Amino acid sequence: MDFKSSDTVPGPRVEDHLPHTTQAAVKIVIVGGFGVGKTTMVGSVSEIKPLTTEETMTQAGVGVDDNYGSDSKTATTVAMDFGRIGITEQLVLYLFGTPGQERFWFLWNGLFEGALGAVVLIDTRRLEVSFDVMGRLEERGVPFVVAVNSFPDAPRYPVPELRAALDLAEWVPIIECDVRRRASSRDVLMTLMHFLHTLATRRAPV
């Protein structure tokens, strides 16, 4: 976290500048277990080269405070990729590929609280990692859809089976995708937006 001198700091390319008329941003978060395709999805739909924001935290050594002044803290750097999609001359959308471990989510103030909604990316070979994430989203009242990233060697299940395996309410959309393809990633985001719109139209039980 050394500071770079101002001449060496690369900024956005001129073609990546947001219009001056841009008034506000909205965000969507993409969550899911390790290696499930979060970074790939951010990269496939982003209009800018995906960027990374980092946060450093120190973990206070537990039970060692009695050693006065001893520095038993361990520093951990947590990275989060994100991308951007221009919506209108006034509005811009940011997509965050959040760290899989929800215990890191608090590092970025308001990451989930302010998000329009979330995409839970799932690998059918490791469904169990999704439970924790979905539980946390529910706790926080973040509406989400489930996107099954279809890795070639992953088993395919019919949606009703997946829904049952994930213990997912019937109003939560599940969609298959290949996040390497922009159109497929965009369809996932569209599914989320349609779902949010439905929620806004008739307040579904949540």
Ligand X SMILES: Nc1nc2c(ncn2[C@@H]2O[C@H](COP(=O)(O)OP(=O)(O)OP(=O)(O)O)[C@@H](O)[C@H]2O)c(=O)[nH]1
Binder of residue 37, out of ligand X, Mg ion, another protein, none (CB less than 5 to 8 A by kind):
ligand X
Binder of residue 179, out of Mg ion, ligand X, another protein, none (CB less than 5 to 8 A by kind):
ligand X
Q: Are 21 and 86 in contact (CB under 8 A)?
A: no
Smallest CA-to-CA distance from 32 within 94, 117, 111, 118 is with 118
- Taking phi over 0 as left and psi of -120 to 50 as alpha, with beta for the rest, 37 belongs to left
Residue 39 as a binder of Mg ion (CB under 5 A): the answer is yes
Q: Binding to another protein (CB under 8 A): which residues in 92-151? A: 92-94, 96, 103, 106-111, 113-117, 142
Residue 132 as a binder of ligand X (CB under 6 A): the answer is no
Rounded to 5 degrees, φ, ψ at 165 are -65, -35
Nearest-approach distance from CB 101 to Mg ion, in angstroms? 12
Distances 23 to 27, 73, 108, 120, 145 between C-alpha atoms, Å: 14, 41, 22, 28, 27
Residue 10 as a binder of another protein (CB under 8 A): the answer is yes
Nearest-approach distance from CB 13 to ligand X, in angstroms? 23
Single residue of 16, 17, 25, 34 touching ligand X by CB under 6 A: 34
